[in-house]
Chains A and B, each alone.
Chain A
Amino acid sequence: MSLIAGVVAVQGDVEEHAAAIERAAQAHDREVTVREIRDSGIVPDCNLLAMPGGESTTISRLLHSEGIAPEIRDHVAAGKPLLATCAGLIVASSDAGDDRVDELGLIDVSVERNAFGRQRDSFEAPLAVDGLADDEPYPAVFIRAPAIDDVGDGNAEVLAAWDGRPVAVKQGSVVGTAFHPELTPDSRIHGLAFFENGSADVPELEETA
């Protein structure tokens, strides 16, 4: 029996997340079946969930109009793991500083959209991230990326910072990154969020043969 991994697929780089989840699962000897979520009714079946990069205004709008938003809140309330990247982090935050984004409030942080500038300022760089499988820096890709402005009451733990600004956080079963771990073959962030996430509830199914 395999775990059900959901990838929110209303907009953004969905296939990339699906492939990264499969790589991370393989590295952890777990079996997953990936399902794309464009409609309500699928999230409740999922053991783990990814919210991809894309445009936060578009994703937020469709999550609410399709009735997926409350299901994601329930998923996290049940202690199941969620990885939210870039636009996903903006949507998962408690304050995106923009009326057009209806935040899910799953991580107590405020974010600044496009904090590093426009596409011409987008970059890739090796990034030190806490809690990764080994101490090698992570090849992080920042695309019109947000940064975390304020970690509020400190419920969220900062895992990485770029130029003094937090860019990866963990709060309970939720991991959020301002960069795109799904764009590189290195699946350690997905591994951390789903299979080494001490605060998340993932059923122990029998290992694959």
Chain B
Amino acid sequence: MSETETDLEELRRGTDLVKRGFARMQKGGVIMDVVNKEQARIAEDAGAVAVMSLEAVPADIRKRGGVARMADPADVEEIVDEVSIPVMGKSRIGHTKEAQILEAVGVDMIDESEVLTPADDAYHIDKRDFTAPFVCGARNLGEALRRIDEGAAMIRTKGEAGTGDVNQAVHHQRTIKGAIRELEGMKHEEREAYAREIEAPAELVHETAEMGRLPVVNFAAGGIATPADAALMMHHECDGIFVGSGIFGAENPPEMAEAIVEATNNWDDPETLAEISKHLGKGMKGDANADLAEEEKLQGRGV
């Protein structure tokens, strides 16, 4: 062995490197919403990189109305035991206790999600206190950098969940990328002023400008319902894809799941995409974003 000795005492858990590193391992992959272990198995067999365990898919939450909360920890545990890929869980925005419970049952990442009913109108969870990494939604650069400042290890778009309409995910991704391009052309003092304007920490604004991208992994989420939708979000430079109701709301979930995984890998190859998209059966029905009343929209929760 080497001249130096490995000291087991020097181990550190829950560092930024370990949390952000976990998120990086998901890149180029598809994370699928599942509500039970049978769905989790279908997702893993189709090539999902992780599953998001929740009580009901967003389309059903939307239909049902009422308060949407964290899933039953027993159901989350069943999913954790069923699959070998990472399991994520959703907590309400600002609900530190739901997040701690999810961490205690062993979820690998927590989604502090606007799909559930927010528990706190003013504050998000202080995510730096956790060993588990967090993913948070963002519609624009200011929101994204505020969440990263709070400790988020991954950002996702806040497309209108449960609609099957990709329109808002595209809008958020374009808004974030457009803001970063604008930043890249700015002088130091202009970036400082911009940071104040978007209510984001200046240090993160400079870091983003220098990297030419968000400092953490950036996924697409909300309204992705077909292989072509997943490919479109990869075309818009997302690092990977969350699919919610689009898989288990489709006529043939295993085939839809597999097709979305393949489309995410082959996003820039139209001929392969055409093959992948054939004979998938009906996709989820969905609701066009433009038809939703303002109060029906989830994306404005937790800014």
Kindly state whether residue B99 has any CB partner on chain A within 8 Å: no
Q: How many residues of chain A get a CB closer than 8 Å to chain B's CBs?
A: 52
Q: Which residues of B contact A161 (CB under 8 A)?
A: 1, 6
Interface string of A101-126 (1 = CB under 8 A from B): 00000000000011000111111111
Complex CA gap A163/B24 in Å reads 26
A118 touches B84 (CB 8 A): no
Q: Which residues of B contact A65 (CB under 8 A)?
A: 262
The interface-forming segment of A25-33, A49-57, A197-205 is A49-57
> Interface majority SS on B: helix, strand, loop or mixed?
loop
Kindly state whether residue B138 has any CB partner on chain A within 8 Å: no
Kindly state whether residue A207 has any CB partner on chain B within 8 Å: no
B133 touches A125 (CB 8 A): no
Q: Which residues of B contact A9 (CB under 8 A)?
A: 28
Complex CA gap A30/B188 in Å reads 35
Q: Which residues of A contact B22 (CB under 8 A)?
A: 119, 122, 143-144
Q: Given A100-B44, A183-B24, are A126 and B29 also a contact pair (CB < 8 Å)?
A: no
Q: Given A12-B28, A132-B2, A137-B4, are A57 and B266 also a contact pair (CB < 8 Å)?
A: no
Complex CA gap A107/B188 in Å reads 50
Complex CA gap A143/B133 in Å reads 12
> In the complex, what residue of chain A is closest to B29 when comparing beta carbons?
A11
A1-47 residues with Cβ-Cβ distance < 8 A to B are 9-14, 16, 38-39
Q: A119-B86, A126-B7 are in contact. List 16 more A-B contacts (CB 8 A).
A: A12-B25, A12-B28, A14-B28, A38-B266, A54-B28, A58-B48, A113-B84, A120-B106, A120-B108, A123-B12, A123-B18, A128-B3, A130-B1, A137-B6, A141-B18, A143-B18
Q: What are the 7 closest A-B residue pairs judged by CB atoms, nearest first?
A: A119-B108, A11-B28, A13-B24, A128-B2, A135-B3, A55-B49, A128-B4
13 A-B residue pairs with Cβ-Cβ distance under 8 Å, sorted by A, are A10-B28, A55-B49, A57-B84, A118-B86, A118-B108, A119-B22, A123-B13, A124-B17, A127-B6, A128-B4, A131-B2, A183-B24, A184-B17
